[in-house]
Chains A and B, each alone.
Chain A
């Protein structure tokens, strides 16, 4: 117990009616018994209501202290390692798998060339003829694109036919 009145909380801050004030209970919860007058300490020791409030004040103090002392949480995003081995393996397999069709590519290009040239010629003529035919060609281009996509979606069937 501290005898210096300057180091004691004044009664006005210690009492709230017949029980201890929140300020006094917080101080007790913080273990600052030395600043509490003796009659208030005696009350805290015998009054169950103030005793429970002091217990809660000690828990609140613990939570705030723990939060302040806790290392600041760093947000780290765990990145999965890049699966280089699997990627290289897949690439090699893809190259080996597509080798037969790559061998076929020049022959297919020659085979398709008249169609491509004819289409390009028609497109140019259509564009020269105004917007109306251009729309037709745009639709045709869209159809070709759709066809290419369908062909791409069925590579095995395409490869089996071999034109």
Chain B
């Protein structure tokens, strides 16, 4: 089984550049929040969560570790903010359920299935287990898929750069990345199902 390379260290770290990149990623933040909330991208809740994500990112930019890419960090914040919003909805619904029947609201069953607590030690552990399982799944991929994913995620290369390095058409790289991710998702299907906010219903 080939060993996966270690993440390289980036040579510089500019807080202003991080903040600028975070702000430029507003569309992807909005898409992630909308996907988690299962709402349209113009929904007021999506607006709120998007703004909250960008606020947290700008305030917490100095906590980003040197060399850590901004985009997945921001996607992670967006996902947490959206999940927090769903949990808050669930708590509100529970409180309303304790009130007389004629005062209950109509919140979808999606909200019922959101855990009602901050990430526990168990959840953090399962995150580590998921990382391990993802790594194992990556190691089992076809070499071209694994190389494409490693070059993208660890070496920070674009699809175009990867295609040039591997001397293959751009479409091949895009296909390998997509199929590689699908294979990984299939292997960790159980964890994925538990964690896949958009498919809770």
Q: Which residues of A contact B (CB under 8 A)?
A: 2, 6-10, 13, 22-24, 26-27, 29-32, 34-35, 45, 48, 51-56, 58-70, 72-73
| Contact status B158-A69, CB under 8 Å | no
Q: Please give, as numbers and ranges, the residues of chain B lying within 8 Å of A30 by CB-CB distance.
A: 152, 159, 177
| Contact status A68-B198, CB under 8 Å | no
| Contact status A55-B181, CB under 8 Å | no
Q: Which chain B residue shows the least CB distance to A60?
A: B181
Bound-state Cα–Cα, A22 to B27, Å: 19
Tell me whether chain B's interface is mostly helix, strand or loop, or mixed. Answer: helix
Is B19's CB within 8 Å of the partner chain A? Answer: no
Is B41's CB within 8 Å of the partner chain A? Answer: yes
Tell me whether chain A's interface is mostly helix, strand or loop, or mixed. Answer: helix
Bound-state Cα–Cα, A2 to B181, Å: 25
Is B57's CB within 8 Å of the partner chain A? Answer: no
Q: Please give, as numbers and ranges, the residues of chain B lying within 8 Å of A67 by CB-CB distance.
A: 130-132, 134-135, 138
Q: Given that A64-B181, A72-B135 are contacting pairs, would A31 and B28 also be in contact in the complex, using a CB cutoff of 8 Å?
A: yes
| Contact status B171-A10, CB under 8 Å | yes
Q: Given that A61-B75, A65-B69 are contacting pairs, would A23 and B35 also be in contact in the complex, using a CB cutoff of 8 Å?
A: no
Q: Please give, as numbers and ranges, the residues of chain B lying within 8 Å of A56 by CB-CB distance.
A: 35, 196, 198
Residue from B72, B79, B196 having most chain A Cβ neighbours under 10 A:
B72
A–B complex contacts, Cβ < 8 Å, 28 sampled? A13-B171, A22-B182, A31-B71, A32-B174, A34-B158, A35-B159, A35-B160, A35-B174, A52-B31, A52-B198, A53-B35, A54-B28, A55-B32, A55-B33, A59-B79, A61-B75, A62-B71, A62-B75, A62-B79, A63-B130, A63-B134, A64-B134, A64-B153, A65-B69, A66-B72, A67-B135, A68-B4, A68-B150
